[in-house]
């Protein structure tokens, strides 16, 4: 990585931090008066855009289709301008109502987590219950009295934005400190972007990668692998991205000591509540088999972040993994069960993910006999929480996050850590059909399996 890139990244963190902190202070000091000015500024912008597009519709020489689009945009902008001007309470109350819904949804998620963890008598369930009560308690007043509580909400959001700015400021400090000094700093808390923003990050990253791979739009060679040091990583964190269905939200798993470790809701027979809840299943597989499978079967692109660990950190990881595997008992996919009864069973009858994964990689599956990972919940006890338990709670202290942990949050943080000069993230690799085909022969591996 060039020195200019490192300087840009550290400067960018500092500018972002200062901007967020100043914005947060303005929200606290300006309160509802500042917010009302922003709303009326937005109405003015809609008016100007609508009039400009209306004039363009009559005087600009365009095709009939383009003129229709211009007229439609003008009509929509002017309509919204009229509605917001006629009913000013609507835009003023929109932010409190939106935040109220967001708080209440988070509260419901925390309650679900509490009941899941209570069933298994897992540690930390009281914290989830308290968090749920706080979320619901904050959300209800904003929902039923949005304008009355607008000032309080803006103060709350201002404090949140300031804390988010402080996170970026600590990132800036971390980018200029030597690695030895950074390891002495124990970061206990990290504020991230709202969940609804983080959830779409993997999909956005995939679109960016595809954009740069388009030869008509990008005529420079694409770098699939970037290294800060000529050293093989001790651990690699994979962030998955896809354009298909729920895979758009991403997935996270870890490679360590020759094995990929992944956690998810892989037993279709146990799924409930719209497949959001089910038995927690952990599997291990070889990296050289697993990555081609993800690309060919699930149509995914993987972004791998390589981590450099000290000997002490490796021992912490291995100690935690041992305690994790002590909670496991072997589980078999439907295809394995059928194969034990009939060696000639047809592979084509089994379309579930676990069976397909076993056919392609010979993965080993396990279920938890106890602990908080026994039951999977997509918005709480998920793949990211397991990764965080290995990375963040095993002594490495790389990731400490609050709230709902998403693949987008992992990508956003690891990507910024990679851009820093002194950090544990030493490499970034993109695994897709083109790059893996050159290294592992993905087409040859799945030539027979895909039929």
Q: Which pLDDT tens digit goes with each residue over 8-23?
A: 456 777 888 888 888 8
Contact at 8 Å (CB) between 124 and 388? no
> For the ranges 36-40, 393-397, 431-435, which has the lowest average pLDDT?
393-397
Task: Read off the pLDDT of residues 148-183 as tens digits, 9 standing for 90 and up.
Answer: 888 888 888 888 888 878 877 877 776 666 655 555
Least reliable range by pLDDT among 227-231, 398-402, 411-415: 398-402
Q: What pLDDT does residue 451 have?
A: 30
Determine the pLDDT at residue 188: 47
Burial degree of 265 (CB within 10 A; 0-12, 13-18, 19+):
buried
Give the Cα-Cα-Cα angle 114, 117, 123 (nearest 5 degrees). Answer: 105
Q: What is the largest CA-CA distance in the chain?
A: 76
Residue 291 has pLDDT above 70, yes or no: yes
Q: Give strand pairing partners of 262.
A: 283
Kind of pairing, strands 251-256 and 277-279? unpaired
Q: Which DSSP letter does residue 184 get? A: T
Helix (H, G, I), strand (E, B) or coil at 65: helix
What's the confidence (pLDDT) of residue 96?
87
Who has greater pLDDT, 411 or 445?
411
The pLDDT of residue 198 is: 53
- What's the mean pLDDT in 62-89? 79
pLDDT at 262: 96
Strand-strand pairing, 301-307 and 425-431: antiparallel
pTM: 0.72
70 versus 332: the higher-pLDDT residue is 332
Residue 143 has pLDDT above 60, yes or no: yes
Mean pLDDT in residue range 283-289 = 95
Mean pLDDT over all residues of the chain? 79
- Output the pLDDT for position 182: 52
Percent of the chain clearing pLDDT 90 (strictly above): 25
Distance CA 167, CA 13 (A): 9
For residue 448, what pLDDT is reported? Answer: 33
Q: pLDDT band at 2, cuts 50/70/90?
A: very low
Name the pLDDT band for 323 (thresholds 50, 70, 90): very high
Q: What is the pLDDT of residue 449?
A: 34
Select the more confidently predicted residue: 323 or 65: 323
pLDDT of residue 214: 53
pLDDT of residue 215 exceeding 60: no
The answer to whether residues 206 and 242 touch, using CB atoms and an 8 Å cutoff, is yes
Q: Rounded mean pLDDT of 316-334?
A: 94
- Tokens 């896809």 locate to 242
Strands of the sheet with 259-264, listed across from one edge: 225-227, 425-431, 301-307, 235-241, 251-256, 259-264, 281-285, 364-368, 328-331
Q: Please report, rounded to a whole number, the percentage of residues in the chain having pLDDT higher than 70.
A: 78
Mean pLDDT of 225-238: 90
Task: Return the structure tokens found at 341.
Answer: 């009864």
Q: Which two tokens stand for residue 402?
A: 């609050």
Closest CA to 256 of 326, 312, 306: 306
Mean pLDDT of 371-387: 88
Transcribe 348-388 into DSSP letters.
Answer: GG--SHHHHHHHHH--EEEEESSSTTSEEETTSSSHHHHHH
């Amino acid at each position: 990585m060039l020195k200019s890139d490192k300087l840009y990244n550290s400067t960018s963190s500092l500018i972002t931090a200062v901007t967020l902190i100043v914005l947060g202070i303005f929200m606290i000091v300006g309160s509802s008066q500042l917010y009302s000015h922003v709303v009326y500024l937005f109405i003015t912008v809609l008016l100007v855009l609508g009039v400009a597009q209306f004039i363009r519709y009559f005087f600009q020489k365009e095709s009939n289709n383009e003129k229709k689009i211009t007229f439609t945009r003008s009509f929509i902008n002017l309509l919204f301008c009229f509605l917001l001007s006629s009913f000013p309470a609507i835009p003023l109350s929109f932010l409190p109502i939106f935040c109220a819904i967001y708080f209440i949804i988070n509260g419901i998620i925390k309650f679900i987590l509490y009941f899941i963890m209570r069933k298994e008598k897992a540690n930390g369930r009281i914290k989830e219950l308290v968090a749920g009560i706080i979320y619901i308690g904050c959300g209800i007043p904003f929902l039923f009295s949005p304008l009355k509580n607008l000032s309080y909400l803006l103060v709350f959001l201002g404090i949140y934005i300031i804390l988010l700015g402080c996170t970026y400021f600590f990132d800036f400090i971390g980018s200029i400190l030597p690695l030895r000094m950074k390891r002495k700093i124990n970061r206990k808390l990290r504020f991230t972007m709202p969940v609804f923003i983080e959830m779409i990050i993997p999909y956005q990253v995939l679109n960016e990668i595809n954009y740069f791979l388009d030869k008509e739009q990008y005529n420079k060679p694409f770098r699939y692998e970037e290294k800060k040091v000529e050293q093989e990583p001790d651990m690699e964190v994979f962030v998955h991205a896809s354009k298909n269905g729920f895979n758009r939200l991403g997935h996270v798993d870890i490679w360590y000591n020759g094995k990929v470790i992944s956690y998810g809701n892989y037993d279709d027979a146990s799924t409930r509540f719209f497949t959001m809840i089910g038995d927690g299943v952990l599997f291990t597989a070889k990296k050289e088999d697993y990555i081609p499978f993800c690309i060919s079967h699930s149509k995914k692109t993987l972004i791998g972040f390589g981590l450099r660990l000290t000997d002490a950190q490796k021992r912490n990881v291995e100690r935690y993994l041992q305690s994790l595997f002590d909670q496991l008992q072997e589980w078999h996919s439907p295809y394995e069960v059928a194969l034990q009864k009939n060696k000639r069973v047809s592979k084509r009858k089994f379309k579930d993910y676990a069976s397909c994964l076993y056919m392609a990689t010979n993965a080993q599956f396990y279920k938890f006999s106890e602990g908080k990972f026994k039951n999977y919940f997509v918005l709480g006890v998920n793949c990211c929480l397991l990764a965080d338990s290995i990375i963040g709670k095993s002594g490495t202290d790389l990731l400490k996050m609050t709230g709902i942990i998403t693949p987008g949050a992992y990508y956003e943080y690891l990507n910024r850590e990679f851009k820093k000069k002194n950090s544990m993230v030493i490499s970034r690799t993109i695994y897709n059909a083109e790059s893996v085909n050159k290294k592992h022969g993905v087409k040859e591996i799945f030539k027979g399996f895909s039929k």
